[in-house]
Amino acid sequence: MPNPIEAAASATPRAVARRIRGLSDRTIAWLFVAPTIFLLLAINIFPLIWTVRLSFTNFAANKPNAEVKWVGLRNYIRILTDDGIWANMQTTAHFLLWTLFFQVVLGFTLAWLINRKFKGNDLLTTLIVLPMMLSPAVVGNFWTFLYQPQIGLVNYVVEVVTGTPASSFSMLGPGGLAKWSIVIVDTWMWTPFVMLICLAGLRSIPDYIYEAAEVDRASKWRQFWTLTVPMVLPFLMLAVLFRGIENFKMFDMVVLLTGGGPGNETLLASIDLKREAFEKWRTGYSSAYAIILFVTVFGLASIYVKALNKVKER
Amino acid sequence: MKTRLLAATAVAALAQAGAASAQSNELTLCWAAWDPANALVELSKDFETQSGIKMNFEFVPWPNFADRMLNELNSGGQLCDLLIGDSQWIGGGAENGHYLKLNEFFDANGISMDDFAPATVYAYSTWPKGTPNYYALPAMGDANGWFYRKDWFARPEIQADFKAKYGRDLAEPKTQQELLEIAQFFQGREIDGQKVYGASIFTERGSEGITMGATSSLYAFGFKYENTPGKYDMEGAVNSADAVAGLEFYKELYKTATPPGYDNAYMEQSLDAFKSGQVAMAMNWFAFFPGLYADPNTGGDKIDFFVNPGQKVQASTLGGQGISVVNYSDNIDGALQYIKWFAQPDVQKKWWSMGGYSCHKAVLDDPGFAASAPFAGDFLQAMAGVQDFWQEPAYASLLLAMQERLHNYVVADQGTAQEALDGLIKDWTEVFEDEGKL
């Protein structure tokens, strides 16, 4: 059997081989990495720097011929002193924290239950993960029907269970329920994702650890809190990181469900940003808005990743 | 080898020339996806036959229409040669160089704006407003109107109930107050074993819905955008006592006379509510009226139409569009040829007969026009009193601010009408300051 390295060397055209003969390993490594670095710079870093630059101007992308003025920190000051934007941030925080809370609790519980061996386990797992395979546009549309006061299933069930007339309240309308309605839909869709990651964590715990705990006469309750939870925690934290980043920029599903309404009750920061950037065409202002959101999510994610690493080191 | 190279080059050149020639024999017309657009496809077949130019169409659903088309224009896209854009886009289209100025073309081809209804020329074609600078040909006249269940109104027991309660006959409302009373009368009433509601109105948050709906009441109560046209002096006009009364009225209509869960509804939802027999009355654009009249379940002798009732002023919210030539088109000559063809009186007459709302005087001034359809007379009356939203280049910012303020007050129960309109002046002032107009 021929040596693969020799085979590769002999397959290299002579002209190329002659040219790279004098290059060091480091240079060759750079040659291979260079295209990726170039693409990263072109697609990620340059737009980021450009956005920072635009955020200090009054540039409007729909007026290419208009004079672009340097406005200093005006866009940042306007955003940070705008009560409406702080209200949107609070709405985003409400959505983020409650979806994470419910998804962690339900996702972990489902994973813990499904980790047991029983008949139909695989089928049940497949059924549970179905919602996360759907498009957010589809989910948004059919939950709009489910929430419809006159024909929707949700109001009907509430009427049957509590006796409250179905058409007397609107899950997506005024009355304070809309904020919770979007949390419910996101939880329904993404709890299976958290469950899958937790399930991977649970299945990575070797049986002998539980056997040793049994020998030490540790109760099931104690095994759960001192073995299961700590060993699944890094997985759970990873799931929270993924979902946190995703939900911070949540857009499509909420737009389809409520359009940010009623009023501004479900107007998440990402929806507001899109309106500023691509409907009002305030490019400079929205660049500043985007930078503030980026710094927020980047800062929070960095702190979180440090905490995650500490948990993993334990 | 040389021969092969020459042959290949010749083939490539021929192919390119063929492609270019095919391109110049095609036009793409962009519009919203709705009933009149389908009529225009049929109408344009005559143009294809006469000119030999193939027509392509790009129709976008209303909720995404503005987003999609304004992005296309702002990016200098070549998708559309002709665009039937909303009336409010005319300022931006003209000032940002998206639309071709048509004055010279009109003069050279004997197209006179005097041949079109003045309100439509003002609204759909001119920028700055009212000046003889034309960036579109009036293509589709439209206004927000009303339709109702004529068969329900005619029932003796309903008539009797209504008379007992209000002391007058149940008939098409003549004022906004009468409209509210009729809507409240039907709210929750049982008809043929089904619970029905008063009226379906516009409450949509995302695009322009609630603004288009609420202005129907605001204009009727006396709302104005400025004290002096062109001066942007909004204090006392936008938040006048009449404007506050109009907004409070619209909220009462929404709260007391619409179907449950009707908090984010626009054209489609209004049509659905009416066609499914849920509501006694509904507001919508005249453009939908031919389709509604032809509906086998709720059309024909079960439906009738009325113009938006006045209160202090007889006024209707303007819809409709002009047709513009996109400056970035690579077939401007073909696009102008289409405009010339479309402006002909015979084509305009056929346009009306197929379901499009012509703005040409040859159609509108015809003695038989008012009787040509059950809604034709109402259309004439509506167009005589239309009022439009700001048509400024920054119209999107102005519109989104109004959407937010109105939805917060009307649907989400935040603050008072006075606060909503005061806040609106603050938002609009900021926009005009950014635009350098204040």
Give this prediction's pTM: 0.84
Nearest chain A residue to B69 by CA: give it.
A279
Q: Which residue has the tokens 């949509």?
A: B204
How do residues B115-139 score in pLDDT, each as one tens digit? 999 989 999 999 988 899 999 999 9
Nearest-neighbour CA in chain A from B264: distance (Å): 8
The rounded distance, in Å, linking the Cα atoms of B380 and B147 is: 15
More confident residue, A175 or B426: B426
Pairing of strands B303-306, B144-149: antiparallel
Pairing of strands B54-60, B194-195: unpaired
The token pair that represents B254 in the structure block = 């929404």
Please enumerate residues of B whose Cβ is less than 8 A from a Cβ of A: 66-67, 70-71, 73-74, 92, 96-97, 204-206, 259-261, 263-264, 393-394, 396-397, 400, 404, 407-409, 411-414, 434
pLDDT at A4: 66
For B411, which of A147, A174, A275 is closest by C-beta distance?
Answer: A174
Q: Which residues contact B223 (CB under 8 A, 6 or more apart)?
A: B215, B237, B238, B240, B242, B243, B246
A172 lies within 8 A of chain B by CB: yes
pLDDT at A122: 86
pLDDT at A61: 85
Contact B217, B314 (CB under 8 A): no
Cα radius of gyration (chain A): 26
Q: Which residues contact A194 (CB under 8 A, 6 or more apart)?
A: A103, A104, A106, A107, A108, A111, A236, A239, A240, A243
* pLDDT over 90 percentage in chain B: 83
Subunit contact A259:B413, Cβ cutoff 8 A? no
The chain-wide mean pLDDT, for chain B, equals 92
Domain boundaries, chain A: 82-281
pLDDT at B22: 45
How do residues B326-367 score in pLDDT, each as one tens digit? 999 999 999 999 999 999 999 999 999 999 999 999 999 999
Across chain A, which distance is largest between two alpha carbons, in Å? 85
Mean pLDDT of B10-37: 69
Architecture of domain A82-281: Orthogonal Bundle (1.10)
A268 lies within 8 A of chain B by CB: no
How do residues A272-308 score in pLDDT, each as one tens digit? 999 999 888 899 999 999 999 999 999 999 999 999 8
Q: ipTM of the assembly?
A: 0.77
More confident residue, B215 or B393: B215
A91 lies within 8 A of chain B by CB: no
Spans of chain A below 70 pLDDT: 1-5, 8-9, 18-21
Contact B397, A285 (CB under 8 A): no
Domains and CATH numbers, chain B: 24-142+320-387 (3.40.190.10), 144-317+394-434 (3.40.190.10)
pLDDT at A95: 97
Mean pLDDT of B30-47: 95
In the DSSP assignment, the letter for residue A165 is -
pLDDT grade, residue B2 (50/70/90)?
A: very low
For A63, which of B96, B260, B263 is closest by C-beta distance?
Answer: B96
The rounded distance, in Å, linking the Cα atoms of B310 and B307 is: 9
Contact B254, B268 (CB under 8 A): no
A152 contacts in chain B (CB < 8 Å)? 261
Mean pLDDT of B16-34: 72
Backbone angles phi, psi at A61, to 5 degrees: -65, -20
Subunit contact A170:B261, Cβ cutoff 8 A? yes
The rounded distance, in Å, linking the Cα atoms of B128 and A116 is: 73
Q: What residues pair up with B194 in beta bridges, in sequence order? A: B191
pLDDT grade, residue B3 (50/70/90)?
A: very low
More confident residue, B161 or A23: B161
Q: Which residues contact A306 (CB under 8 A, 6 or more apart)?
A: none
Instruction: Tell whether the model's pLDDT for residue B5 goes beyond 50.
Output: no
Instruction: Tell whether the model's pLDDT for residue B167 goes beyond 90.
Output: yes
Contact B434, A58 (CB under 8 A): yes
pLDDT at B16: 47
